[in-house]
Amino acid sequence: MMTEATTTETRPRLLTFGAGGWVILLAVAFTILVMVLMGLRIVQHLSSVPPGDGRDPATYGFALTPSLIDTAAIAAAQKHRDVVPSLQDPSVMPGGSVATFKRGTFLVPSDRVVGVVIDGVARAYPLSMLACHAVVNDRLGERDIAVTYDPICDSAVVFDRTPDGVETPLEFGVSGLVCNANLLFYDRSAEPGAESLWSQLRGRAVTGPAAAAGLRLERIPFGLVHWSDWLDAHPDTTVLEPNLADDYLMDMYKKTSYDGYYQSDTLFFGASAPPVDEPAVKAPCVVIMSSAGGRAHVVPYPVIEAAADADGVWETELDGRLLRFSYRHGPPAVRVTAEDGGSVDAIHVRWFAWYGIDPDAAVVTGTGVREAG
């Protein structure tokens, strides 16, 4: 027979605050609070992520109409806009300090640099840094400039950031989009949703209000040379100073390399190969822009190398001017000067990318000049 005592011992106990129920209720409340906070953080993160889904150019938030290019040729190259961070008013240091810099190996004598001189002020922009930023918004001498580099095309161009008809200099960011695998940047000062896309190789706005206004950027002469050659020619030069506190970028500066890509014929982001065998699809070239509004002349590096004398110098007449091409090995670099002492409007780029925007260019060969196609 079950006794009263037994019944008391086996009866289920009710969970009360006095019996520890407050601990479970507190745990449930804490769990709910954590979930709410996590949700808020996710919402905050999603709201802070720049536009772009890595596939559809329309998701990047730029004004794509009107367009001066085939919008079907625009492709996503990065997950979002500004994944590649452009630089604004970068820190610089004296060129002579590089050898004693704490991490001086970030720039060695054979490294290529974009060298610019304005109003007698010289500055070098290492390609190792440009490859990780694409655009540097800077002021040199009395001009606001954009130093641009696209490692997929190995294309370097320097611009004045104040187009005709615009009162204040523009600040450019990296859109995350490309056309024919070439960099498209955008104007950060425009209203959200009205930012136009600008083509590096075309040097002009190609979509949006700025394209409708016909805005173009003036190219500024520069040299694409070895650091040692630039420093010898401009001992008072300054050079971009890397941020030692940013270990991630410092590693990127040292480790980023496109050599394997340049040695293959594989093209990305919808780019297509020229329909001719020479120059090679990814041959490095210097494009001499016509001063009289005529056709551009494409001069492949291999042609310069083959024609150069023992000092790496080759002279030829193009567009009515005698030009001197100075070639350096490992990695290849070409400096172009004119006998008349004037500046030379030149762009450095891989062959496939230039053909994509200028199939009628004249190509300089070892035996003369021929049509690109």
pLDDT tens-digit profile of 206-242? 999 999 999 999 999 999 999 999 999 999 999 998 8
Give the pLDDT band (50/70/90) at residue 126: very high
- Nearest to 243, CA basis, from 116, 135, 138, 102: 102
User: Residue 87 pairs with which residues in a beta bridge?
Assistant: 136
- Domain boundary assignment for the chain: 57-240, 272-371
> What mean pLDDT do residues 169-182 have?
94
Tokens of 353: 């990318």
pLDDT at 113: 96
Q: Taking 50 as the threshold, does the pLDDT of residue 6 lie above it?
A: no
Note the maximum CA span of the chain.
Answer: 122
Are 71 and 179 in contact, with CB atoms under 8 Å apart? no
State whether residue 114 is helix, strand or coil: strand
> What mean pLDDT do residues 193-215 have?
95
Give the Cα separation of 335 and 257 in Å (integer): 22
135-169 residue pLDDT tens: 999 999 999 999 999 999 999 999 999 998 898 99
Give the Cα separation of 287 and 280 in Å (integer): 15
pLDDT at 3: 46
pLDDT at 56: 92
The secondary structure element, H or E, covering residue 131 is: helix 127-133
Give the pLDDT band (50/70/90) at residue 40: very low
64 φψ region: left (φ > 0), alpha (ψ -120 to 50), beta (else): alpha
Highest-confidence segment of 47-56, 77-86, 133-142, 182-191: 133-142
Cα 175 to its chain centre, rounded Å, is 10
Tokens of 164: 């005709």
Half-sphere CA count of 137, side-chain side, radius 13 A: 18
Say which residue, 14 or 112, is predicted with more confidence. 112
> What mean pLDDT do residues 366-373 have?
62
290 to each of 3, 298, 344, how far by Cα in Å?
Answer: 111, 11, 9
- Nearest to 347, CA basis, from 329, 361, 360: 361
State whether residue 152 is helix, strand or coil: coil
317-352 residue pLDDT tens: 988 889 999 999 889 999 999 999 888 999 999 999
pLDDT at 132: 87
- Nearest to 328, CA basis, from 229, 233, 253, 240: 229
The secondary structure element, H or E, covering residue 77 is: none
- Nearest to 51, CA basis, from 172, 207, 193: 193
358 φψ region: left (φ > 0), alpha (ψ -120 to 50), beta (else): beta
pLDDT at 270: 80
Say which residue, 105 or 19, is predicted with more confidence. 105
Bond prior to 359 in cis (omega within 30° of 0):
no
Say which residue, 30 or 101, is predicted with more confidence. 101
Are 324 and 266 in contact, with CB atoms under 8 Å apart? no
Tracing tokens 């070895």 back to the chain, one arrives at 226
Give the global pTM: 0.83
Alpha-carbon torsion, ordered 238, 244, 247, 250, to 10 deg = 20
251-301 residue pLDDT tens: 666 666 667 777 888 888 888 888 777 789 999 999 999 876 678 999 999
pLDDT at 76: 92
- Nearest to 184, CA basis, from 170, 199, 171: 199
Tokens of 91: 């820190």
Average pLDDT taken over every residue of the chain: 84
199 to each of 76, 147, 205, 219, 370, how far by Cα in Å?
Answer: 14, 13, 6, 13, 26
Tokens of 241: 């100073």
Spell out a b/e string for 65-80, using b for 16 or more CB atoms within 10 Å of the CB, else e: eebbbeeebbbbbbeb
